[in-house]
Amino acid sequence: MSKAVRSPGTLIALLVAAAGVLLVLYAWRLPPFASSVESTENAYVKGQVTIISPQLAGYVKNVAVQDFETVKAGDLIVQIDDRIYEQRVRQAQATLAGQQASLANADQSQRAAEARLRSGEAQIASAQAAVETAQANAGRILALREKGISTQSAADQASLVLDQARAGLRQAEAALDVARQDRQSIIVGRAGLEAAVRNAEAAVQLAAIDLQNTRILAPQDGKMGEIGVRLGQYVAVGTQLASLVPARKWVIANFKENQLSGMKIGQPVTFTVDALHHAPLTGHVQEFSPATGSEFSILKADNATGNFTKIAQRLPVRIAIDQDQPLTEDLAPGMSVIVSIDTATPVEAAVKLSSADKQ
């Protein structure tokens, strides 16, 4: 070995160079430091944050919750002054009662028209009988006059009575036709009255819904965020009053595209949470995003430009948090986590874990 190699400075330099090479190999996960575990710090706890807003305008009468309070589904959050909406319900009910009375009156009118129709039919029968009687009487008198037994005046009187009976029959038939038209008019008008009643019933239901909406209730179990509404405040439709965070949470990890090889649904996941002193928690891969995050951005990059620079894209991976872990109750949406996934998990085990999660 030469003196240059044996000198302490050269040995130190060689050791530093070797350490640097090993450090680069370790940082890039190159052999002999290649690993099946993929990790990312670009991950966060997620949850369904529900914005609580009113469906109608009014002054706030009561704020029943405080910041960060735990609530159950159906608990009162905010009460809006309901006096106007109570009167609207009474007004709609009064309109409904009037329409129902009009419909009942139409029913009575229809029954009266049917009675007049039956009366007209009876009058026709009576007029037909009168015509038949007058016709028979006129025939007898004409026969007697031809034999010289009856006078001409009696024949003329019999003919007059026959004409009057026939006129009475035509009048009875016309009256019957009028009665039929009256009944039909009532029947046609009844359809409009029934529609008016249904409209009034719908108005009552809408007014009742508005009255019910003055009580803004929790849609599900969860924990309130900061309450942004105050007693006596006037709120409009859609005003953000508060936020509700349900207990169900998960993790979204944004892995680089070159880390996705070998990842499968159901593979076990370990992650640590910065806010919990990096305490370890477990979960498993639940779903993969259908596109990278850049595809969902509002301003998308145009890679057709001449100054293109390749940038590794990230794909969001949804991770279900395993149950029965004490620290999961302390997780809050938005917390930063560090996620690690072992891509060497066998396919059979991954499929089994995914099936158990869906059940």
What integer pLDDT is reported at residue 116 of this predicted model?
75
Q: How confident is the model at residue 58 (pLDDT cuts 50, 70, 90)?
A: very high
Tell me the residue ranges of DSSP E strands in 208-297.
215-217, 222-224, 234-235, 242-245, 249-256, 268-273, 279-288
What integer pLDDT is reported at residue 78 of this predicted model?
95
The answer to whether residue 45 scores a pLDDT higher than 50 is yes
The answer to whether residue 349 scores a pLDDT higher than 60 is no
What integer pLDDT is reported at residue 128 of this predicted model?
78
Indicate the average pLDDT of the chain. 81
Compute the distance between CA of residue 168 and CA of residue 161 in angstroms, rounded to an integer.
Answer: 10
What integer pLDDT is reported at residue 27 of this predicted model?
62
What integer pLDDT is reported at residue 317 of this predicted model?
93
Side-chain half-sphere CA neighbours of 299 within 13 A: 0
The answer to whether residue 351 scores a pLDDT higher than 60 is no
What integer pLDDT is reported at residue 53 of this predicted model?
94
Which one, of 87, 94, 65, lies nearest residue 210 by Cα? Answer: 87
* Tokens 């009028």 -> residue: 178
The pLDDT tens digits for 124-161 are: 777 777 777 777 776 766 766 666 666 667 666 767 77
Side-chain half-sphere CA neighbours of 228 within 13 A: 13
The pLDDT tens digits for 305-345 are: 767 777 788 899 999 999 888 888 888 899 999 999 888 77
The answer to whether residue 348 scores a pLDDT higher than 60 is no
The dotted CATH code for 50-81+215-243 is: 2.40.50.100
Order across the sheet with 76-80: list the strands: 215-217, 76-80, 58-63, 234-235
What number is the average pLDDT over the span 241-248? 90
Compute the distance between CA of residue 187 and CA of residue 106 in angstroms, rounded to an integer.
Answer: 8
Lowest mean pLDDT across 42-46, 114-118, 321-325, 327-331: 114-118
The answer to whether residue 28 scores a pLDDT higher than 70 is no
Q: How confident is the model at residue 34 (pLDDT cuts 50, 70, 90)?
A: low
Higher pLDDT, residue 121 or 39: 39
Q: Give me the residues paired with residue 257 across strands.
A: none
How far apart, in Å, do the first and last CA atoms of the chain sit? Answer: 69
Q: How confident is the model at residue 354 (pLDDT cuts 50, 70, 90)?
A: very low
Side-chain half-sphere CA neighbours of 261 within 13 A: 3
Ranges for all domains in the chain classified under CATH 2.40.50.100: 50-81+215-243
Higher pLDDT, residue 86 or 99: 86
Ranges for all domains in the chain classified under CATH 1.10.287.620: 83-213
What integer pLDDT is reported at residue 142 of this predicted model?
73
The dotted CATH code for 31-47+248-358 is: 2.40.30.170
Ranges for all domains in the chain classified under CATH 2.40.30.170: 31-47+248-358
Using CA atoms, how far residue 63 sits from 73, 76, 210, 228, in Å, is 16, 8, 19, 10
The answer to whether residue 99 scores a pLDDT higher than 90 is no
What integer pLDDT is reported at residue 29 of this predicted model?
57
What integer pLDDT is reported at residue 62 of this predicted model?
94
What CATH architecture applies to the domain 83-213? Answer: Orthogonal Bundle (1.10)
What integer pLDDT is reported at residue 353 of this predicted model?
47
Higher pLDDT, residue 93 or 136: 93
What integer pLDDT is reported at residue 102 of this predicted model?
83
